[in-house]
Structure 1
Amino acid sequence: MRNDVRHLRLGKGLSQQALGEALGVSRQTINAIEQGRYDPSLPLAIRMARYFGKVVEEVFHVDP
C-alpha cells in the first residue's frame, strides 16, 4: 500500500516526532508508515487522514 503521509507531513512543516506526538504514536511508527514497512491500523489511518483534513482514500492508496 502506498501513502502520502510524508508529503502531507512536510507540507505542514512537521517532523516525524511532532506528527507522532499529535497522533499518539512514536516517531518510529511514522517513519515505518512513510517507508511502507508498516500499514497502520484502521483507527490510526482514520486519525491520520482526519489530522490532514482528508479521507483515508486520499492518504492511503491500495496497489492493484
Structure 2
Amino acid sequence: MVIYRVLEKLHLVNLFENGLLAYIFTAVAVICGSVVFSICAKWFLNKIETFLKERVNNRRVNHV
C-alpha cells in the first residue's frame, strides 16, 4: 500500500487514459516497487544487525 501511495503522489497511477492499461501499469509498478523496497530493507537491516553484533562482541572482548 505504501508503494501505491508513492505512485499516487507522483501522479503515476492515472498515467494512461485507458483504464485497463493504467491498472496493469499500476499493478506491475507496485510489484516492482515492493521488490525493490524489500531488497533495500533487507540490506539495511543486515547492516544494522552486523553493527550490533560487532558492538556486542567488542564489549565482550573488552570486559574479559
Scaled to the shorter chain, the TM-score interval is under 0.3
Which has a greater percent of helix?
2
Bigger RCO (CA 8 Å, 6+ sep)? 1
**Greater fraction strand:** 1
Larger radius of gyration: 2
Alignment TM-score, normalising by the size of structure 1? 0.27
TM-score if structure 2 supplies the norm length? 0.27
